[in-house]
Structure 1
Amino acid sequence: MADQNYSEAGGHSHLGSGSRITGELYFPGTVELPGYVKGRVEASSIVIEEAGEVEGEIHAASIDIKGRFNGQVTGGKVRLHTSARVTGEITYESLSIESGAQIEGKCRSQSYSKAT
């Protein structure tokens, strides 16, 4: 499987609001997280919704954080929306932070390559 086909293979996944999941999760396309996740999430695109809370690690070419995150973010294009509350370390290729977003931690620019 070629890396460039990673995002094309995927589709769209959505975990229900109020979900509580612990573990290592892999989604071949986009995943929306409106519930609570503790562990590691890898996808081509991750959206932590306003009601969502993630503790652990997230890895994706595109990451949008609207809710709460505590841990390590590794991404290509990372966007922190107004409602984002982030604690931890963000490694990014491009980073945008909207007015009102809160971040406590370390940010580091680095080229993104899919985690293996």
Structure 2
Amino acid sequence: MTEESRATSGSGGRSHLGAGSRITGELYFPGTVELPGYVNGSVEASAIVIEEAGDVEGELHAANITIKGRFKGQIKGGAVQLHTSARVAGDITYDSLSIESGAQVEGACIPRATPRAPTPTDQESGSAVE
């Protein structure tokens, strides 16, 4: 086993559901999951890829989400990428969002609140520096 394959397997690896598969329920994957079939439910993973043939309804939760196919529901992700072939209906909550020309989005795109930087203070007096 190479060092690279150990790192991949240690971080959850890669899961792939077969094209034409139909799954319903709450799904959890410790690494990346590729979805070329139909899923109805909640999907949580480190990274989620809905392939062009993929059709997912429900909720997505991941640090990285890539959509090339169809999605309907709620997305809560870090880096969200919508490819040209993406068809999305629902709200997207994100840290960063990339939408390619041709992608269709129907719903709200909501950036996560970023914490405000603390106000610098004068080290001697402890008062705010302006």
* TM-score, length basis structure 1: 0.88
Name structure 2 gaps, 5 residues minimum. Answer: 1-9, 115-130
Task: Pick from 43, 60, 84 the counterpart of residue 41 of structure 1.
Answer: 43
- AA at the equivalent of 1:81: H
Find the structure with the greater CA-based Rg.
Answer: 2
**Matched ranges for 1:1-116 at <5 A:** 9-110=11-112
Answer 1 or 2: which has greater strand percent.
1
Name the aligned partner's letter for residue 19 of structure 1.
Answer: S
Q: How far is 1:67 from its partner?
A: 0.2
Q: Find the aligned partners of 2:86 and 2:113 in 1 and give their Cα distance.
A: 23
Offset of residue 111 of structure 1: 5.5
Amino acid corresponding to residue 34 of structure 2 in structure 1 = E
**How much does 1:32 deviate?**
0.1
Q: Match of 2:76, as an amino acid?
A: T
RMSD, aligned α-carbons: 1.5
Identity of aligned residues (%): 75
